[in-house]
Structures are given as structure tokens and as C-alpha cells.
């Protein structure tokens, strides 16, 4: 005996339903564990968030500026100290070097908030150098609550 074909209505996936109508799917790590994000991805997000924040505050001065993240500087002629960022005024490019910035944060008593502040500080200082402003003048109310 052959089955009669059924008319299948598509499920609206925008409502948080899974393929079989049982509800939304959880992440692979489960609800108890944090999602797996690498240090490099977290660093990229913080640099991006900081850049987006500064672009909102200084749209004319930062128009056309490109922000990028690199692991380490690749120049053969490095100064005595390892640079944490590089600016290029001609191409309007800010490059933040992940490993030198993260090495500032190697103390065991530093937490995620300290790590975020260290990365944001590098971005603020690089942008301040690019547009010839003091980094504290870029967002005077940003850390006023401390």
C-alpha cells in the first residue's frame, strides 16, 4: 500500500524553532559552558568595538580610517621597544599588534575587564596619535564612573 504524499508547510525559522519544531538549538558547549572563543577572536572584537565607538565620537576626523589587527610587526628595523600599534597617516591605517598588547596582560590577578581596558587603551592611544589628540580627550566620559 502506497502512502499518500502530505502537504508540508515550511516552519518559520525566525521564531527560534528547530528543524523538527522542538525549539531552539543550544550551542555545542552546552548551557553550562561559555562559548568557545579564541584569544585572537576576543582581541579582534575588542579592537572592533573600540574602533566603532571612536568612529561614532569622531566621524569627521576618522573618516576613511582602516583598523586592522596583526599578530606581530614584520619590520626588520624595529626600535628597542616592541611597538604595540602602528599608524600610517598616508593610507589612514591603524594596526594594533595583538601579541605585544597581550603581553602587558600576563599577570595572574588581571581579569577580563583588565584585559579589555589594556586593549582599548592601545586603540585609544593609536587613534590619538593618528589625529594628534590626547587619548583621554577622545572619550572623556568613557571611564568617568571609576
72-128, pLDDT tens digit by residue?
888 766 666 788 999 999 999 999 999 889 887 666 667 888 889 899 999 999 999
Please state which of the ranges 29-33, 86-90, 98-102, 133-137 shows the lowest mean pLDDT: 29-33
Q: What is the pLDDT of residue 82?
A: 80
Beta-strand pair 93-97/66-70: parallel
Q: What is the pLDDT of residue 89?
A: 92
Whether the per-residue pLDDT at 8 is higher than 50: the answer is no
Q: What is the pLDDT of residue 104?
A: 75
- Please give the angle made by the CA atoms of 75, 114 and 47, to the nearest 5 degrees: 45
Which are the contacts of 25, defined by CB distance < 8 A and separation ≥ 6?
A: 18
Q: What is the pLDDT of residue 12?
A: 46
Amino acid at each position: 500500500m502506497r502512502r499518500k504524499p502530505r502537504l508540508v508547510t515550511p516552519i518559520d525559522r525566525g521564531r527560534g524553532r528547530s528543524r523538527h519544531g522542538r525549539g531552539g538549538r543550544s550551542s555545542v558547549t552546552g548551557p553550562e559552558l561559555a562559548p568557545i572563543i579564541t584569544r585572537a577572536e576576543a582581541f579582534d572584537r575588542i579592537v572592533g568595538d573600540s574602533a566603532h565607538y571612536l568612529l561614532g565620537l569622531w566621524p569627521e576626523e576618522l573618516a576613511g580610517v582602516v583598523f586592522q589587527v596583526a599578530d606581530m610587526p614584520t619590520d626588520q628595523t624595529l626600535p628597542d621597544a616592541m611597538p604595540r600599534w602602528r599608524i600610517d597617516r598616508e593610507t589612514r591605517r591603524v594596526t594594533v599588534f595583538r601579541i605585544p598588547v597581550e603581553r602587558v596582560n600576563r599577570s595572574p590577578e588581571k581579569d577580563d575587564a583588565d584585559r579589555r581596558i589594556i586593549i582599548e587603551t592601545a586603540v585609544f592611544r593609536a587613534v590619538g596619535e593618528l589625529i594628534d589628540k590626547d587619548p583621554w580627550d577622545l572619550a572623556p566620559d568613557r571611564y568617568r564612573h571609576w
